[in-house]
Amino acid sequence: MLDLKFVRENQEAVAEAMRNRNAAWDAALFAKLDEQRRDAIQREESLQAERNALSKQIGELMKAGDAAQADASKARVAEIKDELVAISDTRDKVDEQMRDLLLGTPNMPSDATPVGKDENDNPEVRRWGTPTQFDFEPKAHWDLGPELGIIDFDRGVKLAGSRFVVLGGMGSRLERALISFMLDTHTSRGYKEWWLPAMANTETMTGTGQLPKFEDDMFKTRENLYLIPTAEVQLTNLHAGETLDVADLPKHYTAYTPCFREEAGSAGRDTRGLIRVHQFDKVEMVKVVEPETSYDELESMTADAENILQLLGLPYRVISLCTGDIGFSSAKTYDVEVWLPSYDAYKEISSCSNCTDFQARRMGMRYKDPEHFKGTRYVHTLNGSGLAVGRTMAAIIENYQQIDGSIKVPDVLVPYMGGVEYIRPESQ
């Protein structure tokens, strides 16, 4: 959430940033609510001062024997009490409207975020490896997986519906191997692993910015709990409402969770295979850091995501998302895109974002550093996929396929696969 004082003092800059983000921003409503709020505060303070003066005066009038004037002052104090109740109610309503407005307003883009309208304006930052070349006609993972008996789309539909997938045999083992490999790699680089609930309450979802804006993209239970769209929600909220000590920063966390997304409005987009499904596995990275280090931490987090792909030997590129394409809570984002032969293109497999103090302000997460400042400050939070497991599996199937229809297991995964070096056709 944006700071009210910042918005008030930078209304033109905020309006321009929202235009660059293609985000709705009612500047007139903000100005109106802000004026009403300040008027209410001013009136409240004025009445409180009058009440205090009258209360002091009443005692003096009683001592002087001026009962009539004392009674008049008492009557005015009673009136002020009623007026203060009314003003407090008005201020509460204005504060609620202001909070709703700010809760629905995205983060300010960083100065380093390129200005652009949509994904077509995202500049490429770097590439690693070269697109895989074949001396035979390669197959898409949605064809090769079922032929090998490791992916079953039809049974996924039978069990749950469209955009659900069943993995069997070596497909299931490959999924499990990837999860363990990713977690082991991240923990070896200083991340603390967590095991988390797959459901979150409204407050938790609001803290990271999923609510109220993206409720239509989430699955909700009858108990008003939400199936999490990413472990970012839980990992970032671990310290919601807490004041951390600077000595405990930075915090680097990782977790595997199943993820659930309604994908409202995405019909027709990447609906084949493992790219866009309702339930998928993901290993997530989250950082809680001091403001001064957050952009350096973003670079290292992106490098951690890239490291997984490098170890797997999968070609990829990194792009910097423009203002019209960055996520709601992000100030700056890098997307890591893996090469998928079936698309003859790079597809997103990780998104690493610096959310600055936007999420921390929503969830009340601060830190103290008595040697450098009084009071407390908001931390900065970052999140990144490390990686989306299903998409990684799709990339392995397609990039490591062999002419005989088998799939070579990347060397780094062989120990996690119990020594299996090739995935070959198996019984259905």
Average pLDDT for runs of 10 along the chain of length 428:
96 97 95 94 91 83 78 86 92 95 97 97 98 97 97 96 96 98 98 98 97 93 96 98 98 98 66 91 98 98 98 98 98 98 97 98 98 97 98 98 97 98 81
- pLDDT on residue 60: 77
Instruction: Specify whether the CB–CB gap between 287 and 244 falls below 8 A.
Output: no
For the chain, first and last CA: distance in Å?
51
- pLDDT on residue 161: 94
Q: Please state, in angstroms and rounded to a whole number, the distance separating the CA atoms of residues 94 and 309.
A: 49
> Which of 330, 342, 351, 385 is flagged as catalytic?
351
The answer to whether residue 173 is catalytic is: no
**Burial environment of residue 246 by CB neighbours within 10 A (0 to 12, 13 to 18, 19 or more):** middle
**DSSP code, position 401:** B
The answer to whether residue 377 is catalytic is: no
The answer to whether residue 276 is catalytic is: yes
> Which of 91, 163, 261, 362 is flagged as catalytic?
261
The answer to whether residue 391 is catalytic is: yes
> Which of 44, 348, 377, 406 is flagged as catalytic?
348
SS3 assignment, position 86: helix
- pLDDT on residue 11: 95
Could you identify the residue written with the tokens 């490999």? Answer: 181
Residues in a beta bridge with 320: 334
The answer to whether residue 366 is catalytic is: no
Q: Which residues contact 79 (CB under 8 A, 6 or more apart)?
A: none
- pLDDT on residue 426: 74
- Output the pTM of the full model: 0.93
- pLDDT on residue 59: 76
- pLDDT on residue 204: 98
> Which of 215, 276, 290, 300 is flagged as catalytic?
276
- pLDDT on residue 428: 45
